[in-house]
Amino acid sequence: MTAFSLEPAQLAWCAELRALAEHRLRPLAEKGEPGRVNRALVAELGTLGLLSRLFTSGALDLCLMRESLAHACTEAETALALQGLGAHPVHAHGTPAQRDRWLPRVSDGSAVAAFALSEPGAGSDAAALSLAARPDGPSGWRLTGEKCWISNAPDADFCTVFARTTPGAGARGVTAFLVPADRPGLTGGRLDMLSPHPIGTLRFDAVPVTADDVLGDPDGGFRVAMDTLNLFRPSVGAFAVGMARAALDATLEHTARRDAFGGRLKDLQSVAHQVAEMALRTEAARLMVYAAATAYDEGAADVPRRAAMAKLLATETAQYVVDRAVQLHGARALQRGHLLEHLYREVRAPRIYEGASEVQRGIIAKELYKTLEDR
**Residue 256 resides in a domain:** yes
Residues of the chain above pLDDT 70, percent: 98
Checking if the pLDDT of 5 tops 90, the result is no
Do 24 and 89 lie in one domain? The reply is yes
| Domain enclosing residue 86, as ranges | 8-108
CATH number for the domain that contains residue 93 = 1.10.540.10
Do 28 and 76 lie in one domain? The reply is yes
Checking if the pLDDT of 372 tops 90, the result is no
**pLDDT, position 137:** 85
pLDDT digits (tens, 9 = 90+) for 286-316: 999 999 999 999 999 999 999 999 999 999 9
Checking if the pLDDT of 3 tops 70, the result is no
Checking if the pLDDT of 267 tops 70, the result is yes
Phi, psi angle pair for 304, to nearest 5°: -55, -40
Whether residue 44 lies in the annotated active site = no
Do 45 and 163 lie in one domain? The reply is no
Residues of the chain above pLDDT 90, percent: 86
Task: Count Cα atoms within 13 angstroms, Cβ side, for 220.
Answer: 10
Do 69 and 121 lie in one domain? The reply is no
Checking if the pLDDT of 353 tops 80, the result is yes
**Residue 321 resides in a domain:** yes
Paired residues of 140 in beta bridges: 210
Compute the average pLDDT of residues 318-333. 97
pLDDT digits (tens, 9 = 90+) for 114-132: 999 999 987 667 678 889 9
Do 154 and 140 lie in one domain? The reply is yes
**pLDDT, position 126:** 66
Do 173 and 216 lie in one domain? The reply is yes
Domain count, the chain: 3
261 or 206: which leads in pLDDT: 206
Q: Length of the chain, please?
A: 375
Which of 298, 354, 358, 367 is flagged as catalytic?
354
**Residue 3 resides in a domain:** no
Task: Count Cα atoms within 13 angstroms, Cβ side, for 237.
Answer: 33
Q: List the alpha helices (DSSP H) in the chain.
A: 8-20, 26-30, 39-47, 59-72, 74-93, 96-108, 221-257, 269-297, 303-329, 339-346, 357-373
Do 232 and 98 lie in one domain? The reply is no
Task: Count Cα atoms within 13 angstroms, Cβ side, for 5.
Answer: 4
Do 295 and 351 lie in one domain? The reply is yes
Domain boundary residue, one of 221, 239, 258 = 221
Phi, psi angle pair for 7, to nearest 5°: -70, 155
